[in-house]
Amino acid sequence: MMTCDLCGGNEAMQILQSPNLDGPLVRCASCRLYYVGSRRSQLTFGSGSAEDVAERVRQANERFQNLRLAEEHRLGLLNAQWRLKMIREMCPSGRLLEVGCARGDFLSVSKSHFDLLGVEPNPELADSAQRFASIHRDVIETLNAGSFDVAASFHVIEHVDSPRRFIASMAERVRKGGTVVIETPNIAGFPFRLFGSRWRQFIPEHYYFFDPGTITRLMESNGLKVEKILNVGKYASVELVLNRLSRYTGLISPFAAIARGLGLSRLTLRLNPGDIMFVVARKV
């Protein structure tokens, strides 16, 4: 059993087994952090060559039906614009670091307002993101020290080898008074209690699951003062919803075909199932 990355505790209770996780989900007896207690595979970047890790992640997700790339990109831009609006309410301009920038959706909508640097170890995604900003093609821990006004990371901390090192590295690269923004699943939300081992946030490369208490402890242990934790949703289309439902049952395909035939696939709403949190902290 792995020790707790948040408090260093070595006692944890097994909570459940999920076919979609890389090992058993446990909860630290001391700080109550949820994490994968042992790992069958190594799906975190920094644990081997970036190409090898990317291929292992791809293979681990082969059983999931992917959303069409064009639709994923369209929704990604909508969510990126919402996140940019939130960040600009706190810091309208300046130097911004995005950690885990993927193909660059957030960078593309932010380049008119910020001096940008992206961090992305996945080679294929980094190739896409470099159209919008300079990219550090490795994990955040290997990036030279900087002095950014904002360091942001969206749905990355649950993937990393060590959230403690991850947040420490972000905090070190933000100026005093600067802002750190994290978006990540909230395991205290109702969907986890409802779906258990079939919760939508359980995928093979997710290793850590926070609630408001554990994410606050992690931030504060690295010199960051949490200013707000918001329960947020995201933009989702009919096509996306049906795609995710297909992971639970094979009866969805006919409905997806009907939606396409009626021209409803791209119908888009902002949905909030209550299991994502948007965390804003200041470096004090």
d(CA 48, CA 51): 8
Least confident range of 37-46, 136-145, 239-248: 239-248
Q: What is the pLDDT of residues 191-225, one digit of tens each?
A: 999 999 999 999 999 999 999 999 999 999 999 99
Q: What is the mean pLDDT of the chain?
A: 94
d(CA 148, CA 137): 18
Q: What is the pLDDT of residues 157-191, one digit of tens each?
A: 999 999 999 999 999 999 999 999 999 999 999 99
Class of CATH domain 12-283: alpha beta
Please state whether the predicted TM-score (pTM) of the whole model is above 0.85. yes
Its sign, for the CA torsion 114, 185, 209, 126, is negative
Q: What is the pLDDT of residues 4-19, one digit of tens each?
A: 999 999 999 999 999 9
The pLDDT value given to residue 251:
62
**Token digits for 94?**
């300046």
Q: What is the pLDDT of residues 115-161, one digit of tens each?
A: 999 999 999 999 999 999 999 999 999 999 889 999 999 999 999 99
User: What is the percentage of the chain residues whose pLDDT exceeds 70?
Assistant: 96
DSSP per-residue letters across the chain: -PPPTTT----EEEEE--TTSSS-EEEETTT--EEESS-SS--STTSS-HHHHHHHHHHHTTTSPPPPHHHHHHHHHHHHHHHHHHHHTT-SSEEEEEES-TTSHHHHHHTTTEEEEEE---HHHHHHHTTTSEEE-S-GGGSPP--EEEEEEES-GGGSS-HHHHHHHHHHTEEEEEEEEEEEEBTTSHHHHHHGGG-TT--TT--EEB-HHHHHHHHHTTTEEEEEEEE--EEEEHHHHHHHHTTT-TT-HHHHHHHHHTT-TT-EEEE--S-EEEEEEEE-
The pLDDT value given to residue 14:
97
* pLDDT tier at 245, thresholds 50, 70, 90: confident
d(CA 205, CA 159): 6
The pLDDT value given to residue 256:
65
- Evaluate if residue 246 carries a pLDDT over 80: no
CA distances from 100 to 176, 182, 238, 244, 246 (A): 22, 11, 27, 23, 27
Closest residue by Cα to residue 203 from 158, 242, 241: 158
Beta bridge partners of 195: none
The owner of tokens 């644990």 is 47
